[in-house]
Amino acid sequence: MKKPELLSPAGNYEKMETAFHYGADAVYMGGELFNLRALADNFTNEQMSSAVLYAHSMGKKVYVTLNVIPHNREIDMMDEYIKFLSGLKVDGVIVSDLGVFDLVRSVSDIPISISTQASNTNWRSVKMFKEMGAKRVILAREVSLREMIQIRQRVPDIELEAFIHGAMCISISGRCLISNYLAQRDANMGLCTHSCRWKYYLMEEKRPGEYLPVFEDDHGTYILNSKDLCTIEFFDEVLDVGLDSLKIEGRIKGAFYNAVVTKTYRQAVDMYFRGDYAYNPFWMEELRSVSNRQFTSGFYLNPPDSDSQNYTTTSYFYTHQFVAKVLEKISSSEYILEIRNQVLQGEEVDLVRSTGENLTFFMPPMEDALTGEECETANTNRKVRIFKALDAVVGDMIRKKI
């Protein structure tokens, strides 16, 4: 079986670099137009051009999202952009609309991935896209593991991609208008406000302003608040399917999230293909250490049920905080760090290496990288110099427990 690609989100340039640093084979990103994460930083044309060069210089791939559901106005604006992407030699575009599919085929030869928003849940629809010329189908999140196996067997000669980790929609992905109705923001144009996760009350028309709580339990009601997908506990079964690409969701999550999730799944994929796979409970600890809404197996094992919802809060859970990134390595025991969240001298922190085990240490004395002034506390955005034998490399991240 061919080793699948590990595909990580790249909401901006730093997140792309981080994904590659921590083991991604490929990233997916949106430009300033036509992608379903209009609220991510996204890439300007110049940034995208340099991102593709950067990725290709390392033998890695870049897929660009074009998965809006465009109306006439937007579709008529797309061909120049598609030609631009073709000139960059991106490795694929992610498309959900048939009009966009047709346009990409008529003005370029960019390989096309069919977006999860196209809701491919059966082998016939996958086969049809193959016959129409798609290179890859990204299966709907609503497909079970058993169905994935059947699709793989019945349509062997097309690339299949599936989400393995990240946020879930409470509706069929991309078939949702809650945000359009409640916030006039079109989810299918990348502007979803996640209205499904809002906390809802009832208001009686003759008593405006009086919000009547709807109790599902002692905490309130979060009827539409799905937990996040996590496949790590049965990941060997996911790998058994023979998928071509394993996708991590999260273009609007932080770079540190990308680092930890990518590294964890990288380790699991590599272990499986070395032939000595054994589930490591530490993987789950790692995935819980970064922003999550608690975990569900999504549709993989069983249809979602009441346990797939979070009823207590719409907030994120995490156990660790990103405190610094290695900006420069002067020597094996002297480093310049960029501080991302306050850290104190003497605090226990972990160096999250790009491969291998993390290293726990106490923050040594720090000095301002510009002035040389000693600082016991370093705040966000400050650059500090530390002297410590860490065996770190540029791009490694440092975290602390919270």
Interface with ligand SF4 (CB under 6 A) = 169-171, 176, 178-179, 187, 192, 194-196
Q: Taking the CA of residue 166 as centre, how many other CA atoms within 13 Å lie in the half-sphere pointing to its CB? A: 24
CB 112 within 8 A of CB 120: no
Q: Which is nearer to ligand SF4, 183 or 359 (CB)?
A: 183
Please report how close the Cβ of residue 197 comes to ligand SF4 at its closest, in angstroms: 7
Please report how close the Cβ of residue 175 comes to ligand SF4 at its closest, in angstroms: 8
Please report how close the Cβ of residue 196 comes to ligand SF4 at its closest, in angstroms: 3
Name every residue whose Cβ is closer than 8 Å to that of residue 290 and which is 6 or more positions away in sequence.
253, 256, 257, 260, 261, 318, 320
Please report how close the Cβ of residue 293 comes to ligand SF4 at its closest, in angstroms: 11
What one-character-per-residue DSSP string does 196-225 give? GGSPPEE--TTSTT-PEE--SBTTB--TT-
Report the SS3 class of residue 35.
coil
Q: Which is nearer to ligand SF4, 195 or 296 (CB)?
A: 195
Quick one: how far is CA 119 from the chain centroid? 19
Is the torsion defined by CA of 141, 145, 150, 152 positive or negative?
positive
Please report how close the Cβ of residue 183 comes to ligand SF4 at its closest, in angstroms: 9
Q: Which is nearer to ligand SF4, 4 or 298 (CB)?
A: 298
Please report how close the Cβ of residue 179 comes to ligand SF4 at its closest, in angstroms: 4
Name the nearest CA neighbour of 97 among 123, 61, 130, 65.
Answer: 65
Q: Which is nearer to ligand SF4, 33 or 172 (CB)?
A: 172
Longest dimension (CA), the chain: 71
Q: Which is nearer to ligand SF4, 187 or 260 (CB)?
A: 187
- DSSP summary character for residue 389: -
Is the torsion defined by CA of 216, 217, 219, 222 positive or negative?
negative
Write the CA distances from 272 to 22, 166, 233, integer angstroms.
Answer: 18, 21, 13
Please report how close the Cβ of residue 224 comes to ligand SF4 at its closest, in angstroms: 7
Q: Which is nearer to ligand SF4, 112 or 224 (CB)?
A: 224
Q: What is the rounded distance in angstroms from the CA atom of residue 304 to the CA atom of residue 295?
A: 12
Q: Which is nearer to ligand SF4, 24 or 139 (CB)?
A: 139
Crossing angle (nearest 10°) for helices 281-289 and 255-274: 170
Q: Which is nearer to ligand SF4, 64 or 178 (CB)?
A: 178
Q: Which is nearer to ligand SF4, 121 or 171 (CB)?
A: 171
What one-character-per-residue DSSP string does 363-386 give? ---EEETTT--EESEE-TT-EEEE
Please report how close the Cβ of residue 171 comes to ligand SF4 at its closest, in angstroms: 4
User: Which tokens go with 271?
Assistant: 């272990």
Please report how close the Cβ of residue 280 comes to ligand SF4 at its closest, in angstroms: 31
Name the nearest CA neighbour of 110 among 128, 93, 134, 88.
Answer: 93
